[in-house]
Copies of this chain bind each other. A is one copy, B any other.
Amino acid sequence: MVREGKALLQLREGVFYNPYMVVNRDLSLLVMLLLGDDIVVCDAMGASGVRSIRALLELPNVAKVLYNDADPSAIESFRQNAQLNQIDMSRVEIHCKDASLLLREIRNCHYVDIDPYGSPIPFLESSLFPVKRGGVLAVTATDTSVLSGTYPHTCLRRYASRPLLKAEFYHEVGLRILIKKVVEEGAKHDYAFIPIFSYSYRHHMRVFFKKDIGAKRTDQVVQQLGYILYCENCLYRESSFLENIRKVCPVCGSKILWSGPLWLGPLWNRDLVEDMWKNRGAILISEETNRLLKRIREEANHQSIGFYTMSSIGRALKVSNLPPMVKFLRKLEGVRTHISHEGFRTLLPHVEVLKRIHELLR
């Protein structure tokens, strides 16, 4: 037996339960909570059903949950756990299908969640259709090593983008590539999928998108796709469009690396993050989720493209004994990032960053 939020779960043999994924569910619930009254939720890869059950137990605004899993034994597990938690089954619709088929058959959901093992790619295009205009699509990726650059060929095949393992913010690059892919899939159908909340945590990446419809709105989203240029030598970074890709670093003259196409826009909608923060008491979120959300709340006010880490600074400046991170934060007007415990964001231009670091080290 496991307790998560208000739900009590009987775990079956062969049903995977990852305690770190509680962050994923907590944040899903917080987003759902803010989507208005009488919402319809689609839990397309429901597995044990913990997400569905928690939504039904903890959220007063959920009218109906469409639970789906292709595996009949997952359905059985969901039924048992729903009974255990005294769920009113008139609020539930159960499907047992390949998710990519189901998602093409249903429409008008306020919230659609795809949370597959590995890459979301096989389900991505199908997941665009059931989301209502103004509704939210949540996408999990656990192929993070592909997105972050360990397998660049696979990233190019799967996401049609080049990652950037050499940058200290390679996980952020992965997140931005994942966003690009969803934006691009949506754009094919004149859907604007706008990222409103993103994070990279342990072995998964996750992005929530708000759906809008129409060519004009979609064009505005597509215009925020581009490239990141990066210098391994001096840590220079820059966002760019194809016509402006340079070959050498404008700061130190080294060969420049590039990554993309990827999302250059904001990773968070600040108002949403504030609302999630304010409402976090309405559901039982874990300590871990609280910590993550707190950090993202700060980050959302400093939406830089890329961040610095203490070790990348040490490496670039060839200094082994750096002052403590708090001094860097103060000097560089920085905030910590949730992505790396030794990373921070600043909105200062790179040359200014270098100047102030040198002052700090003097």
- Chain A interface residues (CB < 8 Å from chain B): 98, 100-101, 104-105, 121-122, 125, 153-154, 156-160, 184, 187-190, 215, 218-219, 222, 242-243, 245, 247, 258
| A247 nearest in chain B by CB position | B243
Whole-angstrom CA separation of A125 from B104 in the bound complex: 12
Whole-angstrom CA separation of A285 from B243 in the bound complex: 46
Q: What chain B residues lie within 8 Å of A184 (beta carbons)?
A: 160
Q: Are B219 and A187 in contact (CB under 8 A)?
A: no
B121, B160, B188, B242: which contacts A158 (Cβ < 8 A)? B188
Q: What chain B residues lie within 8 Å of A215 (beta carbons)?
A: 153-154, 157
Additional A-B contacts beyond A156-B187, A157-B222, A158-B187 (17; CB < 8 A): A100-B104, A101-B105, A122-B189, A125-B125, A153-B215, A154-B215, A156-B219, A156-B222, A157-B187, A157-B188, A157-B215, A157-B218, A159-B188, A160-B160, A160-B184, A242-B258, A243-B258
Whole-angstrom CA separation of A187 from B159 in the bound complex: 9
Whole-angstrom CA separation of A282 from B327 in the bound complex: 81
Q: What chain B residues lie within 8 Å of A125 (beta carbons)?
A: 125
Whole-angstrom CA separation of A174 from B122 in the bound complex: 27
Query: Nearest Cβ in chain B — how far from A12, in angstroms?
Result: 29
Whole-angstrom CA separation of A215 from B154 in the bound complex: 8
Whole-angstrom CA separation of A188 from B177 in the bound complex: 14
Looking at A98, A121, A158, the one whose CB has the most chain B CB atoms below 10 A away is A158
| A192 nearest in chain B by CB position | B157
* 21 examples of A-B residue contacts, CB within 8 angstroms: A100-B104, A101-B101, A121-B188, A121-B189, A125-B125, A153-B215, A154-B215, A156-B219, A157-B187, A157-B188, A157-B215, A158-B188, A160-B160, A160-B184, A160-B187, A160-B188, A242-B245, A243-B245, A243-B247, A243-B258, A245-B245
